[in-house]
Structure 1
Amino acid sequence: MMGTSPVDPINRLLEKYNRIAEKAVEFYSFLKMPSIKLINYSENATYLVTDSQSTKKYILRVGRPGYHTKKEVESELEWLKSINQLSAITISLPLQGENGEKVQTIVYERQTFYCTLFTFLEGNAPDEGNEQELIHQFEILGEVTANLHEHSIKFRNQLQQITRLTWDYDTILGSTPKWGRWQHGLGMTEEKLELFEEVSGKIKERLNQFGKSPERFGLIHSDLRLANLLVENNHIKIIDFDDCGFGWYLYDLATSISFMEHKPYVPLLIQSWLKGYRKVRPLSKEEEYEIPTFIMMRRLQLVAWVGSRDNETTRELGSQYTEDTVLLAEKYLEQF
């Protein structure tokens, strides 16, 4: 009797997401014989949906079960509506289904999935390998990010009413980490645990001193990594507000260099970002000095994420990402 080769868990999971995506598009009758193609799987599964008659494109997001409540997803969409109406930032917008809902609820195999169809934006993600172009783009990104923060501050009272999680020390590295514990990162050793514990303690100490004043802490995108940016004709558009929540504004800078924090050109990216940011809103020398704290916090958060997720990105990064974090951690302790 011939044995059967084991099915990769990711493939099995994606087969499930494919079925859910097929069910979700049924809520949008304007889609004529739509084709559905998976383009990314990370926290969620993201699909390119193409109308076979008009050839018009859309983006469908199938949310990971248990990651957000329906109210939290609806709150994300409320912020998108506000940004679209009251700022010049280009974003992807949610579309309403025939049932009047912008968030479709699909129950499949006793799990609840929240799905949203978005408008499609043209453009390409910045190229991590093109250093000079990336430095130039980070000045534009800094300006766009500052405009996003200005919107957050200006409409703070209204935005405080929406239901989104908070990104602070406790939910990133502390007692209730949303993306898992950094202690469970891949390739962890006693030496790394001791080093990262010292770093984590220093981060907590400095953030307590830094504080959460309204000028420093508010509603942010929380995941401005390159994959969530689209560049077209020197214009940067922002996509995927799935992780938006209440956090430090400087955390948005830290997220923009996700997975490349150890690259030698990062200081140039930061200076370029600051130049663009300060075109729109001020940033004190004290705040600028604290940037490494936010970068280090994000890096440890990603160590946790890589260790607690199974997708193409985490498999590619593996334990080497933890290993590459050691030098960053040592440099951080030398500085602070």
Structure 2
Amino acid sequence: MLKLKHLFSNIDLATMIVSNWEYDDLEPLQYWNISSNAIYPFKNKEEMYFLRFAPNDEKHKDNIEAELEFLLYLQNQGYSAIQPKTSKQGRLIEVVDTPWGQYYASVFNRVKGDCLGRVELTEKMITLWGKALGNLHLLSSGYNPTGGKRRSWEDHLEWIKNVLSEFPNQEKPLEEVQILETYFKNLPITNDNYGLIHYDFELDNVFFDKETKEITPIDFDDSMYHWYGMDLERAINSIKDELEPDKVEEAIKSFLEGYQSVKPLSEETLDQLHVFQRFGNLYGYTRVLRSINEKWENEPEWMVNLRGKLEGVLERRSEQFSMPLIK
């Protein structure tokens, strides 16, 4: 998540940045969304595209390049995933200097269909969702980037440690870093259980096209090298958050059946999901802590309300910190 100071809409900034791509209708820019990136829709030749950008103090250019290389690899392998669009200069990333600072920007095509969070989650739909993740992991296991590599779980734990060290009273989160680091360093790494994962393969980031019956994930911004079980845990966590309690067990069963229809899944991986959940909680906690750190006088109401909600997120995600890793 971006720092709160970056969550303000700025149509002038978006207009400056999007001018690096072909467009003929900027009216959709008003339907912006900002979270981990600023997202502004626009049109060109009746097609909808999404401008994504973030300040250079929030993102790393080489990490974005590695993300886009993976997306192109998936496309070449026939896997349906969101795709980047080149700029007027033929680049997938534009580094744009503006009066508000320097930004890294990319543009993506609009994915057909609706996100799974807005459709009826039938057993068949959930099975397709699980199958799509299994296929993604199969392709990841054969992926060898020609450019730089995405960050790994180890890089992220180091980042977490550095961020937490800047804040007072973070003894338990720092203990959690050590607990997870020790656990993961003793976890076997094989081509079957480890690779480049999506990390946010949840309902809102996966689309279904009724016409083609195709599942298409978006938002690979948090992809990292990790055990494939991390992706499974994030998806299952999404099921637990979004579905009625009496539907969760069957939904998880259908998801795992879909996954296993294309990629084997060991009992060992399933036994590790509670540890991956701890990683997700720690990573999310640290991002939120960093985001809400700065405060200003006379903050707008939406920011005050958002800060209050995020403080609640910190409390929930920290409940297990420093506790022994017992299933």
| Bin for the TM-score computed over the shorter chain | 0.7 to 0.9
Distance in structure 2 (CA, Å) of the matches to 1:141 and 1:316: 33
SS of match in other structure, 1:133: coil
Q: 1:101 to 1:178 in 2, by over 3 A?
A: farther
SS of match in other structure, 1:63: strand
Q: TM-score, normalised by structure 1?
A: 0.77
Answer whether contact 1:76 1:244 (CA < 8 A) is retained: yes
Shift of 1:262: 6.6
Shift of 1:135: 6.4
Shift of 1:71: 3.2
Percent of aligned pairs with the same amino acid: 21
Distance in structure 2 (CA, Å) of the matches to 1:278 and 1:11: 43
Partner of 2:38: 45
Shift of 1:219: 1.4
Shift of 1:293: 0.9
Distance in structure 2 (CA, Å) of the matches to 1:229 and 1:179: 32
Shift of 1:182: 10
Shift of 1:144: 0.6
Structure 2 residue 117 is matched with structure 1 residue 127: yes
Q: 1:67 to 1:269 in 2, by over 3 A?
A: farther
Answer whether contact 1:179 1:308 (CA < 8 A) is retained: no
Structure 1 residue identity aligned to 2:265: L
Deviations 1:156-176 (A, max 9, x none): xx32x43233231x444x332
Structure 2 residue 273 is matched with structure 1 residue 291: yes
Structure 2 residue 302 is matched with structure 1 residue 320: no
Deviations 1:187-221 (A, max 9, x none): x989xx54x66655443343233222222221121
Candidates 195, 198, 209, aligned match of 1:218? 195
Q: 1:199 to 1:115 in 2, by over 3 A?
A: closer
Shift of 1:85: 1.3
Pairs within 5 Å for 1:138-157: 138-155=126-143
Partner of 2:215: 236
Structure 2 residue 235 is matched with structure 1 residue 256: yes
Shift of 1:86: 0.7
Partner of 2:26: 34
Structure 2 residue 164 is matched with structure 1 residue 181: yes
Candidates 96, 106, 113, aligned match of 1:106? 96
Answer whether contact 1:94 1:118 (CA < 8 A) is retained: yes
Deviations 1:225-278 (A, max 9, x none): 333222332542111112223222111123335677677565554433221111
Q: 1:24 to 1:127 in 2, by over 3 A?
A: same
Partner of 2:150: 165
Answer whether contact 2:130 2:257 (CA < 8 A) is retained: yes
SS of match in other structure, 2:19: helix
SS of match in other structure, 1:118: strand
Answer whether contact 1:166 1:246 (CA < 8 A) is retained: yes
Q: 1:107 to 1:13 in 2, by over 3 A?
A: farther
* Long gaps (5+) in structure 1: 1-8
Partner of 1:276: 258
